[in-house]
Amino acid sequence: MRRTITATTNKVEAYNGFSKWLSFGGLGIIADNDPEQQEKAIKYEDLVANAVIFQNVVDITMVIRQLRKEGHYVDPDDLSVLSPYLMEHIKRFGDYVIDLEERPEPLDGRLGLGFKTA
């Protein structure tokens, strides 16, 4: 039971650290005393974190598929320790150009590795 609690705590702390790293200016400190503004700030931080996590998972999935296509063996134990909290490729400060007319490719989240998942 202690291992489960520790593992869960580690996951929560990893998410919190990731989310805090993504927050711009103020290091995640909410300076407004208005509860509505506080709630907006928290929800925005979670939205940004979840969007980045989602894109990281999409990118990881594409890399794993490419490795499999090239004939590399992908070990389920290796996949179990991958984290979606990748930050090295993120420009925290800068301009992002977003084309709202460009539709993303359909997403198939299945890896098709031939083993059962929980």
What's the pTM?
0.78
Q: In the chain, what are the domain boundaries?
A: 1-118
Question: How buried is 52 (Cβ within 10 angstroms: 0-12 exposed, 13-18 middle, 19+ buried)?
Answer: buried
Question: Sorting pLDDT into bands at 50, 70 and 90, what band is 49?
Answer: very high
Banded pLDDT at 94 (limits 50, 70, 90) = confident
Confidence of residue 66 (pLDDT cuts 50, 70, 90): very high
Q: Note whether 57 and 67 are within 8 A (CB).
A: no
User: Region 66-79: what's the mean pLDDT?
Assistant: 91
Q: What is the pLDDT of residue 93?
A: 80
